[in-house]
């Protein structure tokens, strides 16, 4: 098999692995959101305890952090890089 064909198949395999990983993380996030609903904690920021807000929950129903806490988290990761 030529190198081009081999690299194509390897790329396809890694793409499938990444997709499976994303789906697995998505299912874990959905399960965690359902648990928060059952516990009465859904819709409240895990960092601040404040309401996450309807617009954010409509955009990302599995959100654990309010937008301000998420922005702080992202800024922290950017600075650490």
Gap between the Cα atoms of 16 and 60, Å rounded: 24
Q: What is the reported pLDDT for 36? A: 98
| Protein fold of 3-80 | 1.20.120
The residue with greater pLDDT, 4 or 77, is 77
Helix%, strand%, coil% for the chain, nearest 5? 70, 0, 25
Structure tokens at 45: 């920021």
pTM of the model as a whole: 0.73
Q: How confident is the model at residue 72 (pLDDT cuts 50, 70, 90)?
A: very high
Cβ 57 vs Cβ 35: under 8 Å:
no
Gap between the Cα atoms of 35 and 38, Å rounded: 5
**Model confidence at 7: pLDDT above 60:** no
């Amino acid at each position: 098999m030529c190198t081009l064909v081999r690299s194509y198949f390897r790329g396809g395999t890694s793409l499938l692995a990444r997709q499976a990983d994303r789906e697995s993380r998505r299912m874990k996030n959905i399960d965690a959101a359902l648990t928060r609903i059952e516990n009465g904690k859904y819709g409240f920021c895990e960092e601040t305890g404040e309401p996450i807000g309807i617009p954010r929950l409509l955009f990302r129903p599995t959100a654990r952090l309010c937008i301000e806490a998420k922005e702080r988290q992202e800024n922290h990761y950017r600075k650490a890089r």
